[in-house]
């Protein structure tokens, strides 16, 4: 059988030549764009050594970048855990057979998906104190805003993942006497999480980057401390932004690699379980063979 599919066909000689030419053209175009950006920054003196020298001093890292990075990671880690819990709970709520559960859960998810995250953080920090008569910390304003928004997006991702599973799995589970909560917990949600892992990781990366919106409430995260405060002290905003962007890229790449490792590990585990639980099929008596001859005898 041919390995070609309806969606993809191996390129022929002309297509390979065309793809190679387009690759070279776009590579040259990207290189030209990068050179143009470099030259424009060079004209403004952004590559001067005095602007990059602060990053060789330990105080720059201990007073600005590392404290901001610590706050960013703390807010992101707390928001990731709470967002995953929020997403699972409200995904199950939206799939409930009881309308008094599914309708309010749907309203909550759609509302927090529609409200801009920046506005949500702003309202939590400045609006909630009018209701509680207590000041709201910048850390929890950012974390709660991240949880409500990203948790709502993850709830829809989990719901889509559960809907994508074959209905025969849940029907078989109900047939052996499992309740709906047990079916969700033991069968549907674990498979949906594996199926939607790329979407979940992408949303968690977005959550990590959205911690930068905490500047609206003066939350001392990485962007605030590493770019605004550092740039105000040394006058090197462009250099500081490049360094902070590189840190964000490294952290997000590590998160993506961790998700890939978890995905491969779960697949290997599922393969081992399926291999060890395989039940051998019973032998089927041959028809018209030696059995008939033995009967004839």
**Tens of pLDDT, residues 41-58:** 888 888 888 889 889 899
Long-range contacts of 267-271 (CB under 8 A, 24+ apart): 267/194
What average pLDDT is seen over the chain? 83
pLDDT bracket for residue 36 (50, 70, 90): very high
pLDDT at 4: 46
Looking at per-residue pLDDT, the higher value among 267 and 170 belongs to 170
| Mean pLDDT of the region 150-166 | 88
Average pLDDT for 256-263: 78
In a domain, 196, yes or no: yes
Residue 294 is assigned to a structural domain of this protein: no
What is the tally of structural domains in the chain? 1
Query: Is the residue at 40 inside a domain?
Result: no
Q: What is the pLDDT of residue 172?
A: 82
Whether 293 is covered by a domain: the verdict is no
Buried b / exposed e along 143-174 (16+ C-beta atoms within 10 A):
bbbbbbbbbbbbbbbbbebbeeeeeeebeebe
pLDDT tens digit sequence for 69-80: 999 999 999 999
Q: What's the pTM value of the predicted model, to 2 decimals?
A: 0.76
Say yes or no to pLDDT of 292 above 60.
no
Averaged pLDDT, 156-178: 82
End-to-end alpha-carbon separation of the chain, Å?
47
Establish if 163 belongs to a structural domain: yes
Note whether residue 24 is domain-resident. no
Position 121 pLDDT exceeds 80: yes
State the pLDDT confidence band at 14, using cuts at 50, 70 and 90.
confident
CATH number at residue 201: 1.10.3720.10
**Confidence band, pLDDT 50/70/90 cuts, at residue 234:** confident
Full residue range of the structural domain in which residue 72 is found: 49-274
In terms of pLDDT, which residue wins out, 289 or 232?
A: 232
The two tokens of residue 2 are: 């041919």
Task: Give domain status of residue 33, yes or no.
Answer: no
In a domain, 288, yes or no: no
Q: What is the pLDDT of residue 273?
A: 58
pLDDT of residue 269: 66
User: What does the DSSP assignment read for 48-59?
Assistant: -HHHHGGGGSHH
């Amino acid at each position: 059988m041919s390995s070609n599919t309806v969606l993809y066909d191996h390129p022929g000689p002309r297509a390979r030549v065309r793809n190679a030419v387009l690759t070279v053209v776009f590579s040259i175009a990207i290189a030209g764009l990068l050179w143009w950006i470099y030259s424009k920054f060079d004209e403004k003196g952004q590559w001067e050594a005095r602007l990059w020298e602060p990053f060789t001093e330990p105080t720059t890292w201990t007073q600005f970048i590392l404290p901001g990075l610590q706050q960013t990671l703390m807010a992101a880690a707390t928001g990731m855990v709470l967002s995953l819990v929020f997403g699972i709970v409200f995904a199950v709520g939206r799939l409930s057979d009881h309308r008094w559960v599914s309708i309010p859960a749907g309203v909550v998810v759609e509302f927090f998906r529609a409200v801009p995250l920046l506005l949500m953080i702003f309202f939590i920090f400045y609006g909630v104190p009018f209701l509680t008569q207590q000041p709201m910390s910048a850390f929890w304003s950012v974390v709660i805003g991240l949880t409500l928004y990203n948790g709502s997006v993850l709830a829809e991702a989990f719901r889509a993942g559960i809907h994508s599973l074959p209905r025969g799995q849940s029907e078989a589970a109900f047939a052996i006497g499992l309740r709906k909560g047990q079916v969700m917990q033991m069968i549907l949600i674990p498979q949906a999480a594996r199926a939607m892992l790329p979407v979940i990781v992408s949303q968690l990366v977005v959550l990590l980057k959205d911690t930068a919106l905490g500047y609206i409430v003066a939350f001392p995260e990485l962007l605030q401390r590493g770019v605004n405060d550092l740039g105000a002290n040394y006058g090197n905003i462009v250099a500081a932004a490049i360094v902070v962007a590189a840190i964000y890229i490294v952290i997000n790449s590590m998160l993506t690699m961790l998700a890939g490792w978890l995905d491969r590990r779960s697949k290997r585990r599922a393969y081992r379980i399926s291999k060890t639980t395989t039940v051998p099929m019973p032998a089927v008596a041959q028809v018209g063979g030696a059995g008939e001859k033995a009967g004839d005898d």
